[in-house]
Amino acid sequence: MAETHHFHAHKLFSMKGQVAVVTGGGSGIGLMTTQALAANGAKVYIVGRNVEKLETASKEHEPDHGEIIPIGNIDVTKKADLEKLVKQIEEKEKCIHLLVANAGVPGPKAEPDKSEAGELKDKLWQGESVEEWNDTYSTDVTSVYFTTVAFLPLLQAAVEPKGPGERFSASVITTSSMSGIMRHAQGHFAYNTAKGATVHLTKLMSSEFMKLGVRVNSIAPGYFPSEMTAKSSDDRQKSDLPDEKVADKGHVPQMRGGRDEEMGMAMLFLAKNTYINGEIIAVDGGVLNMVAGR
């Protein structure tokens, strides 16, 4: 039975003594997640292909209490790289408590803005390629699955049953998207389809991996500042998404993009609340109240 002092935020969301792995952790939502976890005491391994980007993120956002450790030259779409990654972490850690499968790409874009079938076919046929669709799915869905599978032994190693309520002490958070829940294509048929698959994959893994004591949930972000939405990042690996650019879309009730801290709150919530499993949490400023969903 909880006393009032048990509800202090620093107790509810402390990550002290926990080890996390964040793929795509060098910028955007991955970096926001990394900052939130490390600021609350976690040791966070950030993973990606670009060594310089990861090292910059680690150096520029070094926390007071936790730790950010870059591991570069890792392509999460390749099994050999994932095996190499797991081995590197196994050499340093007995377990990991959290995996954030965040790496993703935007894929091709072709607006379905023609009302004549022949014109629409030509625009979509020429605007996207099979290779681009496959690359998008490989990064946004397939890599999420194999990254999670690769880390299952290290995740289960963190599960220490202390009673009926303490079993699910390791978890996975996937980064899906509001785009995987809505019917509006936004010109991103490949990306939205892939993110829809990520949503369902999250539910499948949640159900199947319960036997291991591993929770799986997903954050479905709306518009947040990242290299995907802003097209670039600064010398500290941060991106800027002006409020007016989001407000002009006309379907964001908050009239702005999400803030870094808001993404951090959502990630900490799923990381720490062991009574949540198999959920997709939209952090979208109310977009899904305005745009038709599934």
Give me the percent of the chain exceeding a pLDDT of 70: 97
The pLDDT tens digits of the residues spanning 74-92 come to 999 999 999 999 999 999 9
Burial zone of 214 (CB within 10 Å; 0-12 exposed, 13-18 middle, 19+ buried) = buried
**Residue range 31-48: average pLDDT?**
97
Element (H, E) at 191: helix 189-208
Give the residue among 256, 261, 263 at the shortest CA–CA distance from 282: 263
CA dihedral sign of residues 27, 32, 198, 18? positive
Active site residue 191: yes
Catalytic residue among 171, 176, 179, 226: 176
Is 176 a catalytic site residue? Answer: yes
Query: Which has the closest alpha carbon to 194: 174, 211, 177?
Result: 177
**Phi and psi, residue 283, nearest 5°:** -120, 80
Catalytic residue among 45, 137, 191, 223: 191
Above 70 in pLDDT, residue 51?
A: yes
pTM score, two decimals? Answer: 0.95
> Has residue 167 got a pLDDT over 70?
no
pLDDT at 174: 98
Per-residue pLDDT tens over the stretch 207-255: 999 999 999 999 999 999 888 887 878 889 888 889 999 999 999 999 9
Strands 43-47 and 19-23: parallel
Please report the pLDDT score of residue 293 as a whole number. Answer: 79
Catalytic residue, candidates 43, 53, 195, 238:
195
Domains of the chain: 4-290 (3.40.50.720)
Predicted confidence (pLDDT) at residue 20 exceeds the cutoff of 60: yes
